Structure 1
Amino acid sequence: MPRELADLPFAHLLQPHSGPWRRDERYDTAHFDGGTYQGVQAGGASFLECAFTGVSVLEARLRQARFTEVWLDACRWVATDLAESEWQDATVRGGLFAGIAGYSAQLRRLVLRQCKLESVNLRSAVLREVVFEDCQLTDVDFGGAKLTEVSFPGSSLQQVRFGGAKLTKVDLRGATRLDLPDGHEGLRGALISSVQLFELAPQFAQALGVVVKDA
């Protein structure tokens, strides 16, 4: 995976872009460097082979936007509507996603590295071949989502929910913390370590209505 902007196969094609994002607009090989996009209405916009560096997106509406072969470095997405958006072949490094509506989003071949996700709604989303590497996930809701070949190496999961989710080849063994307040039945199909099983045993027992009593 690319580590620097210059490593991108389309780096030599990138052109600086300024100005607001617009609804249903197509952005191709654009470089968004710095700046704050607050309150933009860009639903249905398409970003192809674009790079985002140090960008802040605040209280924006990007429903049904499409991000294909994009690279994001040190970007902040706060209180933004990304519901039904599509992300494919994308890399996100050192980013913040807080207060995000991402329900029914489509995420495919996406790598998030050293990112923070706080209060992110991914209910009914579809995730395929997604990697959360060294990330912090807090109050992230995967309820009713479909996760296939998703992994969390080095990531901390706190108050993360999987209620009603459908998991296939989801690897949780690399997670450094696994705090799941409810929805444990949604873990069917996940891989966990024996240590994680021991730590989650009381919650599994409670979910199953099993009383554990030694005397």
Structure 2
Amino acid sequence: MQGANAPVLHAARTTWRDVRISDSRLGAVEMSDADLTSVLVSESKLSFVNLRGSRLRDVRFDRCVIDELDLGGADAERVAFTETTVRSLRLDRSTLRDVDLRVLDLSNVSGVEAMRGTVITFGQAADLTSAFARALGITVID
């Protein structure tokens, strides 16, 4: 799919295998409970992406801008972001394995308790110290 321009993409409970989306502008992407395997999204602008409860395997976002990405309750394995911006990320109750978040600004992430299985940088870990402490019930006092 190349050069798509859609204000809304309804694709809940669908299966996507070996799909490439490039040079596209998509508003609300409703893909809850979907099954994505070997999907590449590149050089695209996505406003709201709902992958809540979805299964993702070998998915990559390359040179994309995503305003809001909801992976709540998702089962994600081998997901990566390269040269991509995600302004808001929801991970509540997700299961993640080999999910590479190193290029993302994680200042607006919810569900840090579900970050097991992700790869982040030391800088990102330092920035998330307060969120990790809250999730673990730790009081940090200077």
- Asked if these proteins are the same fold (TM beyond 0.5), I'd say yes
> Retained in 1: the 8 A contact 2:31–2:52?
yes
> Retained in 2: the 8 A contact 1:98–1:118?
yes
| Cα distance, 1:176 vs structure 2 | 4.0
| Secondary structure of residue in 1 paired with 2:132 | helix
TM-score (norm 1): 0.62
Which is strand-richer, 1 or 2?
2
Matches within 5 A, 1:44-59: none
Rounded to whole Å, the distance in 2 between the matches of 1:132 and 1:147 is 13
Structure 2 residue runs without a partner (length 5+)? none
RMSD of the TM alignment (CA)? 1.4
Q: In the alignment, what sits opposite 2:114?
A: 186
Match of 1:124 among 43, 53, 78: 53
Match of 2:132 among 204, 209, 214: 204
Rounded to whole Å, the distance in 2 between the matches of 1:120 and 1:176 is 16
Rounded to whole Å, the distance in 2 between the matches of 1:141 and 1:188 is 17
Structure 1 residue runs without a partner (length 5+)? 1-71
Match of 1:177 among 57, 80, 105: 105
TM-score (norm 2): 0.92
> Retained in 2: the 8 A contact 1:205–1:212?
yes
% identity of equivalent residues: 30
Rounded to whole Å, the distance in 2 between the matches of 1:202 and 1:118 is 28
Matches within 5 A, 1:73-92: 73-92=2-21
1:83/1:150 CA distance change after superposition, 3 Å: same
> Following superposition, which runs of at least 4 residues in structure 1 exceed 6 angstroms of deviation?
none
> Retained in 1: the 8 A contact 2:19–2:38?
yes
Q: In the alignment, what sits opposite 1:158?
A: 87
Rounded to whole Å, the distance in 1 between the matches of 2:10 and 2:120 is 32
Q: In the alignment, what sits opposite 1:147?
A: 76
Higher relative contact order (CA 8 A, sep 6+): 2
| Cα distance, 1:156 vs structure 2 | 1.3
